[in-house]
Amino acid sequence: MNTIVCDAGGTEAVIELLARADDEFARRTTVVLAPEGTVGQESSALVQRLQPAKVEVVANLAAAIARLNDILSSATMGLRLYAAGTEPLIGSVVQAGIDNFIDPLSVRTEHRGSLKRRVQCVHCKGMTENVTTNPVTCAQCGLLLMVRDHYSRRLAAFQGVCINAEAPQERPEPKVEFQ
């Protein structure tokens, strides 16, 4: 059995994979798609045309991961797990795999779409989703965070560190870096 989790950005990679694969691969494949608006509906129709065994369209990333956890909880040996899309999706899929005893090196991933990031504040441990600027304000505690390139696979997030702890009045202008 193959399980592919993707967002709107990753559907192109899924379409390419299914177009190259043989019919047997498609018959054993479930695609969990977390689209974004009408782009997602168009992508879903394209994926459906390639006739995987099942296409499940869910509302958002959280719903996709919940569905993935359901699939993994009853999976048997031999399951192949794929993730295609943005960094938050890939990290969350790998994390769900780890939580269900799948080695992270066994999950096949392909980054497509936005470079937005999931950031964990090292001070309050809160998560800020869909970050495109550096610095960014923590969604939990309000600190101004510098987004580091350090990525935690365990947390499926980049690390954010307070950028102005010694001079809180200094607030550098955010710049779009991860679009």
- What's the pLDDT tens digit per position in 33-87? 998 654 556 666 777 777 889 999 899 999 999 999 999 999 999 999 999 999 9
Contact predicate 101/142, CB 8 Å: no
Please, which pLDDT band fits residue 169 given cuts at 50, 70 and 90?
Answer: confident
**End of a domain among 58, 76, 111?**
111
Count of domains in the chain?
Answer: 2
Last residue of a domain, one of 111, 140, 159: 111
Check whether residue 99 and residue 162 sit in a common domain: no
Q: Are residues 91 and 126 in the same domain?
A: no
107 & 137 share domain: no
Q: Could you read off the pLDDT of 107-162 as tens digits, one per residue?
A: 999 999 888 999 999 999 999 999 999 999 999 999 999 999 999 988 889 999 99
CATH of residue 65's domain is: 3.40.50.80
Q: Which residue has tokens 């600190």? A: 143
Strand partners, 40: none
* Contact call for residues 73 and 103 (beta carbons, < 8 A): no
Domain residues for 159? 117-176
